[in-house]
Amino acid sequence: MIVAGVTADYGIGSGVADRLGAEYCRFFSKVFPDGESYLRLEREMKGDDVLLVQGMDSNQDKRLFEMLMAADAVTNAGANNVYGLITYMAYARQDRTFGPGEPISARVALRALHDAGISRLAVIEPHKEEELSYFKGRSMPIEVLGSVAREAVRITGAEKLIAPDYGSSPRVKKIAEDLGIEWDYIEKKRSRDDGSLSMGKGLERIDGVKALVLDDMISTGGTAALAVGEAISKGAASVSVAAAHMLLVGNAYEKIKNAGANHIFGSNSTGSKGCETVDVSHETADALSRLMGD
């Protein structure tokens, strides 16, 4: 088995290879003067199983296309099975049409990955597990949020998890129960017109409690900042934030810090962007063994 980092794998590729006892290598890549990408894997791979690893948290179109080119390259070179691991899946949030004339972008991406030669695909914390059914081969979501939460609780001593919206509350409840700590949730409302956030149900009083806001992903940071502010206003002794995917777009990091967060934790599914990083390559490798196993 060869594990090949495409152009952005944030240490997960080598961590997975270590855990699986596989060889790790990276594609050589460069960008032509006109902006097009060029890739080459400088290694024989005829008859080998190859796992391609790529994150798509920034330069999304380029990263997706590079993953397609990588799949084509190893298929052409005679790889036996071509597997894919996407550490953060771009376009996952457009998993259906929300209005007339729109594409289902997640379906476009997942179909293309299969057509390029990937037979089995794992995605770390996809937006929704059901959307993986757009991939025509075998697919698997990999959960890492529990591991990120466990590490954040260990470091901060958090006594209560906070789900920053109702949708995430069942997961946060389950993780809190696994960790043996309390939890609560906030009801977040996002305006369809301008994307602005407001709050429905707030938190109970948490005087003197160390809290941890836990979400699947942080993009602009508005949701996390709202939750941090609410926890502080209800008496929390300290508040930190953890998420599986830290996109931290624009000034998101400063926004969350300015709201009063002590620590910001994310997994290495994305580039760290200044937050404290939890390496999730071991649990990712264990899940991949199940995907590739039979």
The residue annotated as part of the active site, out of 136, 173, 188, 234, is 188
Candidates 7, 223, 270, 284; binder of ligand R5P (CB under 6 A) is 223
Question: Is 173 annotated as catalytic?
Answer: no
Residue 221 as a binder of ligand R5P (CB under 6 A): the answer is yes
- Candidates 111-119, 135-143, 214-222, 283-291 — which segment interacts with ligand R5P by CB under 6 A? 214-222
Torsion of CA 92, 124, 31, 51, to 10 degrees: -130
**Rounded least distance, CB 156 to ligand R5P, Å:** 20
Residue 222 found at the interface with ligand R5P (CB under 6 A): yes
One of 57, 125, 215, 230 touching ligand R5P (CB under 6 A): 215
Counting contacts by CB under 6 A, is residue 217 touching ligand R5P?
Answer: yes
Cα–Cα distance for residue pair 47/36, rounded to 1 Å: 30
Among 18, 182, 216, 283, binds ligand R5P (CB under 6 A): 216
Interface map 126-165 toward ligand R5P (x if CB under 6 A):
--------------------------------------xx
Measured over the CA atoms of residue 238, residue 160, residue 256 and residue 124, the dihedral's sign is: positive
Say how many C-beta atoms besides its own lie within 10 A of residue 48's C-beta. Answer: 19
Contact set for ligand R5P, span 162-191 (CB under 6 A): 164-165, 167-168
- The residue whose two tokens read 């990955």 is 113
Task: Give which of 213, 293, 218, 219 is closest to 260, Cα–Cα.
Answer: 213
Nearer to ligand R5P, 189 or 205 (CB): 189
Query: Which residues bind to ligand R5P, rule: CB under 6 A?
Result: 164-165, 167-168, 215-224
**Residues annotated catalytic, as ranges:** 188
